[in-house]
Amino acid sequence: MKQSDGGQVVNSEVKKVMAEFCQTARNIGSSAAERAATVHLVAAAAYLGENIGPSMTKQILSAVLASIG
């Protein structure tokens, strides 16, 4: 895979995970889905913090938040 393809691959993976989560959310209800999303977000941040360091984790989370809002 070329370096320039990395963004497209990640974007595709994100869309796939979001679609799966939305399907789960429809099945379990919005309140349970919000709790599950929060738990997954915290777990992902902790995983990134341990594996790539706090600085890079902060950059990733900042980019995600910027893309949302």
pTM for this prediction: 0.69
pLDDT tens digits along 18-64: 999 999 999 999 999 999 999 999 999 999 999 999 999 999 999 98
* pLDDT value for 5: 67
What does 2-53 look like in DSSP terms, one character per residue? -GGGHHHHHHHHHHHHHHHHHHHHHHH-HHHHHHHHHHHHHHHHHHHHHHH-
| Whole-angstrom distance, CA of residue 40 vs CA of residue 34 | 10
For tokens 């709790």, the residue is 35
Residue that the structure tokens 């974007």 belong to: 11
